[in-house]
């Protein structure tokens, strides 16, 4: 396997800060907006985004949660060993602007499942998508991110791996390719 580092160190942090500035431009003080991280890996990005926003907007408390999509996936009956993570959303999203957060947008199937799962918490006024990495050429569903950290042109045999300091000891995005 060949490794290509796409994002790490200071560039990783700058990318998160840029995403936060874009969110502030569109959501101001987040009075009617919520951020929901998609389990399992989107929650790390969502936490980083929320922490950075609360530094930039010190008097603002942003409603946020974590969403598990296991039973909404279109392949959950085909895969063995799928273990659900806890959904932690202690508010209704009725009439709110929801920002779904995931680390990598690839086929679009995870986002479709997340939108289905959201319905249990009310009908949002609007749903937006924030992703750290957009794998542009592998989409299977017509889903597009509103906020993108980096865009990567990949083929199906390549893999994008996002490492988080919280679980992997470093912040890094790597593109793995077969030789």
Q: How many CB atoms lie within 10 A of CB 94?
A: 10
| Among the listed residues 66, 103, 101, 98, the one whose alpha carbon sits nearest the alpha carbon of residue 85 | 66
Q: What is the pLDDT of residue 79?
A: 65
Rounded CA-CA distance 122/109 in Å is 21
Q: Are 62 and 35 in contact (CB under 8 A)?
A: yes
Each residue's pLDDT tens digit in the chain (179 positions)?
789 999 999 999 999 999 999 999 999 999 999 999 999 999 999 999 999 999 999 999 999 999 999 988 777 666 666 778 899 999 999 999 999 999 999 999 999 999 999 999 999 999 999 999 999 888 999 999 999 999 999 988 899 999 999 999 999 999 999 86
Q: In what order do the strands lie in the sheet with 63-67?
A: 63-67, 33-38, 97-105, 126-135, 147-152
Cα→Cα distances 19→45, 131, 162, Å: 11, 9, 17
């Amino acid at each position: 396997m060949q490794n290509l580092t796409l994002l790490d160190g200071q560039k990783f942090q700058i990318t998160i800060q840029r995403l936060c500035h874009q969110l502030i431009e569109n959501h101001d003080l987040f009075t009617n907006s919520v951020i929901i991280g998609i389990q399992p890996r989107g929650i790390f990005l969502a936490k980083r985004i929320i922490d950075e926003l609360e530094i930039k907007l010190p008097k603002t408390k942003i409603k946020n949660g974590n969403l598990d999509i296991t039973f909404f996936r279109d392949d959950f009956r085909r895969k063995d060993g799928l273990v659900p993570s806890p959904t932690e959303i202690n508010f209704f999203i009725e009439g709110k602007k929801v920002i779904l957060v995931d680390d990598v947008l690839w086929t679009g199937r995870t986002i479709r499942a997340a939108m289905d799962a959201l319905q249990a918490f009310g009908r949002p006024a609007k749903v937006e998508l924030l992703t750290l990495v957009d794998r542009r050429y592998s989409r299977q569903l017509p889903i597009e991110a509103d906020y993108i950290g980096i865009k990567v042109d990949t083929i199906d045999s390549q893999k994008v791996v996002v490492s988080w300091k919280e679980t992997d000891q470093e912040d890094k995005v790597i593109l793995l390719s077969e030789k």
